[in-house]
Amino acid sequence: MRYYLGVDQGTTGTTALIFNEKWELYSKGYTEHTQYFPRPGWVEHDPIEIWQKTKESIAIALNRAGIDAVDLKVLGLANQGETCMVWDKNTGEPIYNAIVWQDRRTAKTADRVKEKWGPRITEKTGLPVDAYFSALKIKWILNNVEGATRRAEKGELLAGTLDSWLIWNLSGRELIVTDPSTASRTLLFNIHTGQWDSWLLGIMGIPERILPVIKDSIMVFGYTSPSDFFDARIPIAASVTDQAAALFGQACFHKGAVKTTYGTGCFMLMNTGNSPVYSPNGLITTAVWSKNGKITFALDAGVYIAGAAIQWLRDGIKIIKSPDETASLAKTVSDTGGVYFVPAFVGLAAPYWDQYARGTIVGITRGTTRAHIVRATLEAIAYQVAENLEVMRLDSGKSIESMRVDGGAVVNEFLMQFQADILGIPVDVPKINETTALGAAYLAALTIGDFSDIDEISSNWKLFKRYEPKFSEDKRKTLISRWIKAVARSRNWAIDQSS
C-alpha cells in the first residue's frame, strides 16, 4: 500500500497527516514552534526551527503509521500565507527571523503607501494596503538589516513566504518557487496577469531577482532530496496557502461554496470561480489555487485573533489550564452577564482593516466571573465570523444556506452551537476537521492523477455533525448590535491615545 502526505505549516505549529489509499486518516504528527514577541505588536518565528519542526512532525507521523518515507506516493504542502523571510542564497542562513502575518511593525509604512497608492494597489492585487501582507515585511528586513539591500541587489539573498523556504529545503536547496495563492498575499502579485508586478516591486523597493518563481499550485514542483527527507525521493506535487488548502479539503469547488477555518485566526473563504470578485465592504480578493495556468479565486474574510484569544486566557491571564475546559466553563453561566470581549490584540482585519484597534473587554461588574470572560471570548470568535458572513452575502450577491467549518476549535460544541445561533444558518463539521493538511494531500493526489476530477474528491467529504440555529431573529440581531457597539469601543482606543 502507498500513502499520501499532507503538511500544514501553521502559525503555532506544523501538522503532518498521512492518509491511506481509501483516504482514511492513517496517522498524525504535530509539533509546536516558539513564538517571539520582541516588542509590542511584533511577532516572529525562527525559520530554522520551523524547518526542523516540519521534519519532526513528518517523522512522528511516519513512526506512528509504521511506514518509511519511501512508502509515500506524494507530498502536498500548505503554508501560513503572509509570514515571510529573507535568507542567504549560499549558506541557507536567514538574515532575520520570519516576520509573522500578525506582526504590526509596518503599520505606519502601510498608512503612507495606502495614502499615496491605495486604490491602484487594490485594483492590481485585490488587497487593501495593510501591515498584514508580506511585501512591507520584506521591505522592512531589507531596510533594517545591515547590508541587506546591497546584497539583495547583487542577487546574494532570497526572499519569500514559508512555502518557498520549506520547498527550498525539502528539495536540497534546488527549488525556489511559490504559487498564485501564496503570491496573492504579498501585495506584489498582479491577479490579472498572474505574475509579479514590476510597478508594485518598484514602489516597494524589492528586486524581483530575490523572489521565487510563480508556478501552478497543482503540479509537480520537483522532488524531495533523500539527504534532507528521510532517504526518500518523493514528488512535491502541490503547494497553497493554508486557507486555500482548507477550502479544497472542504470540497468547496463551486461558486458560492463557503468554509470557515478556526485556528490562531479565523478565516472564511467563498469560492468565486475563475474571475476575481472585488469587495467594496472590506473583504479580500484572493487566488486559491491554479492548474494549467487557470486561477481559481475567492473572497476572503480574515479575522486576526480567534484561537489566539483562548491561548491568551491560558498563557496570558492564566484563567484556564487548557482550551478543553472552555466549553464546560461557558455552559456554567446562562450568558456573559453583559460582558463583551473584542480580541483586537493586533488590530482588526476584515471587514474593518483598523490597524490601531486594540483588545477591549466591556461590561465588567462585581458579578463578573472567569466563566463570563471565557464565554465572552468564545462568543467573540463567533461574532467576528457572523459580521464577515453578512458582508460576504452582500458583496457576492449570493444566499449562503450553510457553512462548512474546520480547525481545532470545531471540537468545542458550545462555540459551534453559538456560531450557528448567531449566523442563523446551519454549521457543518466534517468527519476529518483538519482539512488544511487534507486539502494539501488532495491537491497533490490530483496532480499525480490519483483522482480523475474534483467530483471524485467531493464524494469523500463526510458530515460528522450539523449544528442547527436556535435563536430567534430578534435575539440574534440584538446580540450582534451590542457586539458592534463593543467593537466601536475597541476602535476608539487609537483616537483616545492620540488625544
Helices (H), ranges, 221-353: 242-249, 307-311, 326-330
- Peptide bond preceding 235: is omega within 30 degrees of 0, i.e. cis? no
Among residues 228, 286, 261, 265, the alpha carbon closest in space to that of 75 is found at 228
Q: Say which amino acid occupies 7.
A: V
Helix-then-strand count for the chain, H and E: 15, 23
**Residue among 324, 322, 358, 366 at smallest CA distance from 341:** 358
AA letter at 196: W
Q: Name beta bridge partners: 88.
A: 157
- The one-digit pLDDT tens for each residue of the chain (499 residues) are 789 999 999 998 999 999 999 999 999 999 999 999 999 889 999 999 999 999 999 999 999 999 999 999 999 999 999 999 999 999 999 999 999 999 999 999 999 999 999 999 999 999 999 999 999 999 999 999 999 999 999 999 999 999 999 999 999 999 999 999 999 999 999 999 999 999 999 999 999 999 999 999 999 999 999 999 999 999 999 999 999 999 999 999 988 899 999 988 899 999 999 988 888 898 999 999 999 999 999 999 989 899 999 999 999 999 999 999 999 999 999 999 999 999 999 899 889 989 889 999 999 999 999 999 999 999 999 999 999 999 999 888 888 999 999 988 999 999 999 999 999 999 999 998 889 999 999 999 999 999 988 888 998 899 999 999 999 999 999 999 999 999 999 998 765 554 4
* Dist CA 95 CA 148 (whole Å): 8
Directed axis angle between helix 435-447 and helix 242-249, to 10°?
80
- 8 Å CB contact between 95 and 26: no
Which DSSP symbol is given to 312?
I
- Strands annotated E in 224-323: 235-241, 258-262, 266-273, 284-291, 294-303
CA 81, 84, 89, 90 torsion-angle sign: negative
Please state which of the four CATH numbers 3.30.70.330, 3.40.190.10, 3.30.420.40, 1.20.120.530 is assigned to the domain occupying 3-243. Answer: 3.30.420.40
Measured between alpha carbons, how far is 434 from 246 in angstroms, rounded to an integer? 8
Taking the chain, what is the end-to-end CA distance rounded to the nearest angstrom? 67
Calculate Rg over the CA atoms of the chain: 22
What span, in angstroms and rounded, lies between the C-alpha atoms of 499 and 494? 9
Residues composing the chain: 499
